[in-house]
Amino acid sequence: MTDVHPSPGDAGTPRHRSEALDAILGQPFKVLDDGFVRVVDYLGTDEAIVQAARVSYGAGTKKSREDRGLIRYLLRHAHTTPFEMCELKLHLRVPMDCWRQWIRHRTANVNEYSTRYSVAIDASQQTEPGQWRQQSPDNKQGSEGWMDEETGRQLSAEERELQEHARRVYAQRLERGVAREQARKDLPLSTYTEAYWKVDLHNLLHFLWLRMDPHAQWEIRQYANVIGREIVARWVPIAWEAFNDYRLNSTTLSRIEVELLRLLSAGNDDDLVSFLATEQLVRVRNGAPVLAGELKEFLAKLSRFGASDRIEPLLTRPDVLTRFPA
């Protein structure tokens, strides 16, 4: 028979509890106009992450200060398995268009409200006049800027009219005996659905890293912000702090970006321009420089660092522009 060696604190240890999370169990956090997120159940806390890690790393660290250091080390170096020992079960009400993005994260257990079995939820997400966004000229799947107030009022009125008409048609189909599975097919994507969503902490943090990002769609970002700041921050405060420091509010540099930083620090404009041309980061159109997306992202990172940008002023020089392809 194989001997089982429990990790420190395993034997006879009661379930790890979070008083802060226990205090909000079942409490709905409002999102959008009629959506919500609430905690149904959870497994593990910061202590569970540490306990799981010590199976690998032994009993060398025991104090709370060292617990924090261990969790930060694990997240900083992408040792993800200990974070998978914590799980969170949420009850969600979310618009279907938002849910389509959510369900793309295929690392959770899901049970969704069935409009084949039950009548669809009689609620649709409505857009306030000041919340209509313009299409981004640079990002085909993103938005940038806002529609003017008068256009917004017209769009909101048209939206309500469309939603009300679709609901009437749906209700009439049900009254005439059409099967629920078929009657539902013309309901708008703004219709709310509900689901139970259970996910481990590692995959939840990845979800939040993507969906709290400013480039994520505004609607799903509201859900991610509530889950992160109202729930995860209470549940695993040390892991949440590390996530903010090393993932959410950090940045990465590619090979090209590291070389650009080196060239900027060296101060040799000729080498810098040669590198920009070799990597095809700049083209010339109608006598003006056109920056590749990767270069734009790098300059945005420089701005975030508070570093000076010598690249764009350099590209205003006619002798420099001749070195880039049209």
Q: Active-site residues: which are they?
A: 211
The pairs formed by 252-255 with CB atoms below 8 angstroms and a separation of 24 or more are 253/301, 254/294
Paired strand residues for 36: 30, 93
Whether the CB-CB separation of 212 and 148 falls below 8 Å is answered with no
What token pair was written down for 313?
A: 């002023």
Rounded to 10 deg, the angle between the 269-278 and 255-266 helix axes is: 160
d(CA 51, CA 16): 10
The helix/strand/coil state of 136 is coil
Q: Is 128 helix (H, G, I), strand (E, B) or coil?
A: coil
* 3-class state of residue 41 by DSSP: strand
Dist CA 313 CA 166 (whole Å): 54
Phi-psi region of 200 (alpha: psi -120 to 50; beta: other; left: phi over 0): beta
* Rounded Cα gap, residues 239 and 79, in angstroms: 13
**For residues 87-106, b (16+ Cβ closer than 10 Å) or e, as one string?**
bbbbbbbbbbebbebbeebe
Contact partners, residue 302, CB within 8 Å, separation at least 6: 308, 309
